[in-house]
Structure 1
């Protein structure tokens, strides 16, 4: 099965690399370093305008232009059963809302799995489309996004009209 990619210039991240199979979007890489590392493991070719990566590109451009609040992109994502449960719940968090890790744990009927939810959130291979940026700490702290890129999480939340400043969600 072929692996395709699209290099996309967007606000906040500057450059994203969208990777897909013929079945669906499989990864969003948020830096050139991640993409180079990915290329050392997989043979990739630039996708045409019909690829799932191209479809994701169009929808992401609409999202950053504030013309889209949800995504309808075919996905081909690999993960454990638990991770996929968490990612499915993340996909239900409405645009412009935040949930705590505890809220997500309750939604998967496993309220004690808060730390495991955090790990699954961190392993999310398709940020933005599966909106892991909408998950915050119980105290309102913006925690763990794309490694240590809390500023990006803050900017994504602000794009969606959520008041977030200095690494904190500010209810209002």
Structure 2
């Protein structure tokens, strides 16, 4: 499997995108250690990476509400509960949210609220697989791999109400 990566500037900082021949495999935020995901990859623009960059630019310009770039591992690499949660993220539409508790129920394990947070934290392709649309039951932000400021900006971009 050949991996390629590229960087893109965004309102939440520089993003690193990694893709194989079938789809996007990883998105890293500024300051994240991404060496595990980029080892052996080549800095290059490929049709998949070009499409991902274009769709991100459209998303941040409020011109796109869904992503069509293929994802190589949206929960496919994860089995069990984490995999179910990561696959369910794709069902949360632009401009709406679910709570960690609701997502646990959707994943058929109502008591696994913390495990939902863990599954979101290990989501390999945030934004494309929208873990930023998961909030605490009280409407608070909760955590986010890209930082709470990034999560706040993404929610505001989509006009999602949340509690500061």
Taking structure 2 as the reference length, the TM-score comes to 0.90
Question: Would you identify which runs of 4 or more consecutive aligned residues in structure 1 move more than 3 Å?
Answer: none
User: Could you tell me how far apart the structure 1 residues matched to 2:152 and 2:10 are?
Assistant: 16
Q: Paired residue for 2:68?
A: 72
Q: Paired residue for 2:6?
A: 6
2:4 touches 2:46 (CA, 8 Å); kept in 1? no
Unaligned runs of 5+ in 2: none
User: Could you tell me how far apart the structure 1 residues matched to 2:71 and 2:130 are?
Assistant: 14
Q: Paired residue for 1:142?
A: 141
RMSD: 1.7
Q: Paired residue for 2:59?
A: 63
1:24 touches 1:74 (CA, 8 Å); kept in 2? yes
Cα offset, 1:47, TM superposition: 2.9
Q: Paired residue for 2:120?
A: 121
Taking structure 1 as the reference length, the TM-score comes to 0.86
Secondary structure class of the residue paired with 1:34: coil
Cα offset, 1:72, TM superposition: 1.1
1:87 touches 1:121 (CA, 8 Å); kept in 2? yes
Cα offset, 1:33, TM superposition: 4.6
Cα offset, 1:73, TM superposition: 1.5
Cα offset, 1:81, TM superposition: 3.3
- Structure with a larger share of its residues in strand: 1
Aligned residues: 161
